[in-house]
């Protein structure tokens, strides 16, 4: 039997007796079944699922027990489709907003990574650093080619800014394409770039973390649910837990513990910030509370 499906099947196999016991105790367990990222080698989302578990723990007294279960890795749009249609039992996804998702899914509008994914650092060939060091404004990046997966919203954002995007076929394949000089830079979130660099440096000796630039566009990452009665119940529980974590500072503490050391190593405050618009984001739906957002440099430093 597929090892990924076994935990899900065991839960449903518990049958009426297990459900009756929960109801008798006044509690009804909620199943939160989620997909990992694009590839088993991509560990970038583990922090986000730790936040979800913390939110569920916070709400146990009011909402009862829960099950948090990992399903196989899935591409971004497949994850959105799985939640909307209940594929493989999936009930929650971590995604950024775009018009299609807004029309079909229910988000909890608290940015669980405090907007960190929108801060981008480039993985490049070390020999190209002088070219990137000469960049002074967004227009200077137009001669460069950026490797991305075509279904990532980052691709639409970069194209919208007038940049050249080279489409890859898989997450792992993008690193191979960079090594083969099929494009000039692989744009990565500041929270994931160092782990990716260190994990691949032994097999890619020319790989380097670009030292001069910090690209930024607004990308809130939310937990998303199916827009039906069960989905709304799951979403409300997560919202309640996250609101508690924001109010008492627990979310920021988790963020600082996870990302603080790597953000310090990347020396973001001394990088040139290139601000890019996100045409996929509806400004009317953007959470305005500044306490929800990470900001490494003053606004005046952006170009």
State the CATH number of the domain containing residue 145: 3.40.190.10
pLDDT band at 45 (very low <50, low <70, confident <90, very high): confident
- % of the chain with per-residue pLDDT over 90: 70
- Tell me the C-alpha distance between 171 and 188, whole Å: 11
Q: What value does the mean pLDDT take over residues 201-226?
A: 96
Same domain, 71 and 137: no
Check whether 4 has a pLDDT greater than 70: no
Check whether 14 has a pLDDT greater than 90: no
pLDDT band at 3 (very low <50, low <70, confident <90, very high): very low
Same domain, 35 and 147: no
Q: Give SS3 for 275.
A: strand
Whether residue 267 is contained in a domain is answered as: no
H or E stretch at 191:
none
Structural domain tally of the chain? 2
Q: Give SS3 for 149.
A: coil
Quote the pLDDT of residue 8: 36
Q: Give SS3 for 36.
A: coil
Whether residue 104 is contained in a domain is answered as: yes
Quote the pLDDT of residue 287: 87
Angle between helices 46-58 and 229-247 (to 10 degrees): 90
Write the pLDDT tens digit of every residue in 114-169.
999 999 999 999 999 999 999 999 999 999 999 999 989 999 999 999 999 999 99
Q: Whose structure tokens read 């196989």?
A: 72
- Tell me the C-alpha distance between 66 and 69, whole Å: 10
Quote the pLDDT of residue 187: 97
Residue 10 structural domain: 5-115+220-261
Same domain, 126 and 161: yes
Same domain, 38 and 172: no
Instruction: Give pTM, 2 decimals.
Output: 0.82
Question: Residue 38 is encoded by which pair of tokens?
Answer: 């694009």
pLDDT band at 23 (very low <50, low <70, confident <90, very high): very low
Residue that wins the pLDDT comparison between 222 and 288: 222
Q: Whose structure tokens read 């449903």?
A: 12
- Tell me the C-alpha distance between 44 and 191, whole Å: 8
Write the pLDDT tens digit of every residue in 156-173.
999 999 999 999 999 999
Write the pLDDT tens digit of every residue in 245-297.
999 999 999 999 999 999 999 999 999 999 999 999 888 888 888 889 999 86
Q: Whose structure tokens read 């929270």?
A: 191
Whether residue 266 is contained in a domain is answered as: no
- Tell me the C-alpha distance between 302 and 183, whole Å: 26
């Amino acid at each position: 039997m597929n090892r990924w499906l076994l935990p899900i099947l065991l839960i449903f196999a518990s049958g009426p007796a297990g459900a009756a016991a929960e109801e008798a105790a006044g509690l009804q367990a909620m199943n939160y079944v989620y997909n990992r990222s694009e590839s088993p080698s991509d560990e970038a989302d583990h922090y986000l699922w730790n936040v979800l578990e913390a939110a569920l723990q916070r709400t146990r007294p009011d909402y009862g027990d829960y099950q948090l279960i990992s399903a196989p890795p899935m591409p971004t749009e497949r994850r959105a489709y799985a939640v909307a249609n209940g594929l493989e039992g999936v009930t929650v996804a971590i995604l950024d907003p775009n018009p299609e998702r807004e029309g079909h899914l229910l988000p909890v509008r608290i940015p669980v990574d405090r907007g960190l994914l929108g801060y981008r650092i480039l993985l490049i060939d070390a020999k190209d650093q002088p070219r990137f060091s000469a960049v002074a404004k967004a227009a200077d990046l137009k001669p460069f080619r950026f490797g991305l997966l075509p279904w990532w919203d980052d691709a639409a954002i970069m194209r919208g800014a007038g940049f050249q995007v080279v489409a890859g076929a898989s997450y792992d394949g993008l690193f191979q394409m960079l090594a083969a000089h099929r494009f000039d830079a692989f744009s990565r979130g500041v929270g994931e770039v160092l782990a990716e660099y260190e994990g691949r440096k032994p097999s890619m000796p020319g790989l380097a973390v670009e030292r001069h630039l910090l690209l930024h566009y607004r990308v809130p990452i939310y937990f998303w649910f199916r827009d039906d009665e069960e989905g709304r119940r799951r979403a409300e529980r997560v919202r309640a837990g996250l609101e508690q974590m924001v109010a008492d500072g627990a979310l920021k503490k988790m963020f600082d513990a996870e990302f603080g050391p790597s953000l310090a190593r990347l020396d973001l405050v001394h990088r040139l910030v290139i601000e890019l618009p996100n045409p996929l984001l509806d400004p009317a739906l953007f959470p305005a509370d500044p306490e929800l957002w990470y900001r490494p440099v003053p606004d005046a430093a952006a170009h």
